[in-house]
Amino acid sequence: MMFRMKRESWGSRLGFILAVSGSAIGLANIWRFPHLVGQYGGAAFVLVYLIFLILLGFPLLVGEISIGRNTSKSPAASFRQLGGKGWGAVGGLTIITGFIVSGFYSAVAGWIVGYLFESLQGNLTNFTTVTEAKEYFEGWMSSPWKTLGAQALFLGMATLILFYGVRKGIERANKILMPLLFFLLFFLFVYGLSLPRSNEAMKFLWNPDWTALTPAAILAALGQAFFTLSLGQGTMVTYGSYTPKSENLIFSCLPIVVMDTIVSLVAAGTIFTILFSVGSEGESGEALLFHTLPFVFSEIPFGFLFAPLFFLLVMLAALTSEVSALEPTVAFLMDRFGWSRKKAVAAAAAGAFLIGVPCALSPNVLSHIQPFGHSILSGLVTLGSDILIPIGGLSAALLIGWRWKGKRFIEEVSTGSKELFHKTKWLKPYLIFCVKFIAPVLIGIVLIQAFVT
Ligand code: PHE
């Protein structure tokens, strides 16, 4: 049985744009993108990534948001309404995906919260070698109380925002936190540019190295385009369900993708100028944020000030994304069981915490448990981002392109932007062709590759 309560909606176009951007801009932009660019050939990687944003990211973002807006329902009910009975389960899977992501994301974001506190206490700026910084991080991670406590704190902040609802919680938080994030990033970027060897850092980043553009690099670019726009996990369908019909989806999604991309590029510039200033060329994964950067902050002028600002920046980015990863579950519990928002938020956050616990304990108490040769955390990350998210994206593309059909999809998108479709003749064939053909083929390749390896 479905309960129909009056559905909340975004209060303004700016609120909608900032909320969706808040979801999109997260750890993937500030942490993952810089190391991918460094590893896979600088501008060569960026070029491929931009192509995927045009062919896949933007059309699917518009597509997922329009599914939600058309039905004003959470993903399971949306998929069922547009696709027929079996599709409800597919939509349900996207909610589960977002839920799993919210669990492991909270554990990883917990490390950032922990390091924000460490940096505020001045503990991250006394290292004389990278090895010392690495040992300090390993010490921090070996404490289950610290990893768990930080995760709980992070989830607590997300819960608080969600409690207040769509407009007064999610929208308002993004309206405050996103400008703060942009300001911090800009400030750190200018600081990075002022450091010695910043020219070399920028050259290293923006000179294309075509030989680094391996098949692995191309798949990584595709996965990044997907993950950074929060596609395939019910988030954008849910945010779409709060979007008024008058909204011009093309005009509001375009700045979102552009902002998301600019933040990624500026974050890469910031991190590499800071690293190069002490002659380091960076490492990937945890090492980049938790070994190399704290060492660098120990070396550079005013590192004690910039270290907390940096970790605050990353935490804000992660927080607005976490909120959006939880919201599909919240919306589902409210729609399906008629729960109050507070009850639904409490249940979703408690569930995310439970999934996050083994992740938070995977570097310490549970480090000996290694299913399929992965730690619990990396196993869940792989399951979520390499398998479930592509499945979610593929199903959204198939639903839009082949069940709901191009004509109705375009009708929905053009509600609020009829003029635009009239004037820009290529817009319609572009969106339909990408969603119907290009997206399924590209995502299919990603999935086959994930299962093969
Ligand atoms: N888009 C977020 C990022 O770039 C990731 C994310 C958002 C994950 C929403 C889950 C749900 O980090």
- pTM score over 0.85: yes
* Amino acid present at 448: I
Report how far ligand 1's centroid is from the alpha carbon of 26 (Å).
Answer: 6
Centre of ligand 1 to C-alpha 321, Å, is 5
Query: How far apart are the CA of 301 and the centre of ligand 1, in A?
Result: 33
What is the model's pLDDT at position 4?
57
Nearest to 22 by CA among 169, 176, 174: 174
Ligand 1 near 233 CB (within 6 A): yes
Report which of 105, 79, 266, 85 is spatially closest to residue 188, judged by C-alpha positions.
Answer: 266
Ligand 1 near 326 CB (within 6 A):
no
Name the residue at shortest CA distance from atom 11 of ligand 1: 325
pLDDT at 452: 84
Minimal-distance CA residue to ligand 1 atom 8: 230
Question: 252 in ligand 1 pocket by Cβ < 6 Å?
Answer: no
DSSP 237-273: HHHHTTS-TT--HHHHHHHHHHHHHHHHHHHHHHHHH
Q: 261 CB less than 6 Å from ligand 1?
A: no
For ligand 1, atom 10, the nearest C-alpha belongs to: 325
pLDDT at 82: 96
Q: Return the pLDDT at 3.
A: 57
The H or E element spanning position 367 is none
Query: Up-side HSE of residue 306: CA atoms within 13 Å toward CB?
Result: 23
Q: Is 230 in the pocket of ligand 1 (CB under 6 A)?
A: yes
How far is it, in rounded angstroms, from Cα 305 to Cα 396? 44
Q: What per-residue confidence (pLDDT) applies to 278? A: 83
Amino acid present at 112: I
Ligand 1 site, residue 280, Cβ cutoff 6 A:
no
What is the three-class DSSP state of 176? Answer: helix
What is the fold of 16-237+247-452? Hydantoin permease (1.10.4160)
Dist. CA 196–CA 299, nearest whole Å: 12
State if residue 324 touches ligand 1 by the CB under 6 angstroms criterion. yes
**Residue 259 C-alpha to ligand 1 middle, in angstroms?**
15
Residues 6+ apart with CB under 8 A from 148: 110, 357, 360, 361
8-state DSSP, 301: T
What is the per-residue pLDDT for 2?
55
Q: Which residue among 226, 230, 233 has the greatest number of ligand 1 atoms within 8 angstroms of its CB, and so is best to mutate?
A: 230
Q: Whose CA is nearest to atom 3 of ligand 1?
A: 26
**CA 404, CA 433: separation in Å to the nearest integer?**
14
Which two structure tokens, joined as six digits, stand for 53? 């944003």
Question: How many residues are there in the chain?
Answer: 453
Q: Are 271 and 287 in contact (CB under 8 A)?
A: no
Structural domain boundaries in the chain = 16-237+247-452
DSSP class of 7: P
The rounded Å distance from CA 389 to ligand 1 centre is 11
Q: Which amino acid residue places its CA nearest to atom 12 of ligand 1?
A: 26
Which among 32, 161, 227 is the best mutation to test ligand 1's pocket, defined by most ligand atoms within 8 Å of the CB? Answer: 227
List, in sequence order, the alpha helices (H) in 72-123: 75-83, 85-120
Ligand 1 pocket check for 241: Cβ under 6 Å: no
Cα separation of the two ends of the chain: 41
Q: Which residue has the tokens 């990937």?
A: 284
What does residue 350 show for φ and ψ, rounded to 5 degrees? -65, -40
- Give the nearest ligand 1 atom to 24 CA: 1
User: Residue 325: CB within 6 Å of ligand 1?
Assistant: yes
For ligand 1, say whether the CB of 105 is within 6 Å of any of its atoms: yes
CA distance 64 to 54: 15
| Residue pLDDT tens, the chain, 453 long | 555 567 899 999 999 999 999 999 999 999 999 989 989 999 999 999 999 999 999 999 999 999 999 999 999 999 999 999 999 999 999 999 999 999 999 999 999 999 999 999 999 999 999 899 999 999 999 999 999 999 999 999 999 999 999 999 999 999 999 999 999 999 999 999 999 999 999 999 889 999 999 999 999 999 999 999 999 999 999 999 999 999 999 999 999 999 999 999 999 999 999 989 888 776 667 788 898 889 989 988 899 999 999 999 999 999 999 999 999 999 999 999 999 999 999 999 999 999 999 888 988 888 888 887 788 988 898 889 889 999 999 999 999 999 998 899 999 999 988 889 899 999 999 999 999 999 999 999 989 988 887
E strand or H helix at 431: helix 427-433
Binding site membership of 106 for ligand 1 (Cβ less than 6 Å): no
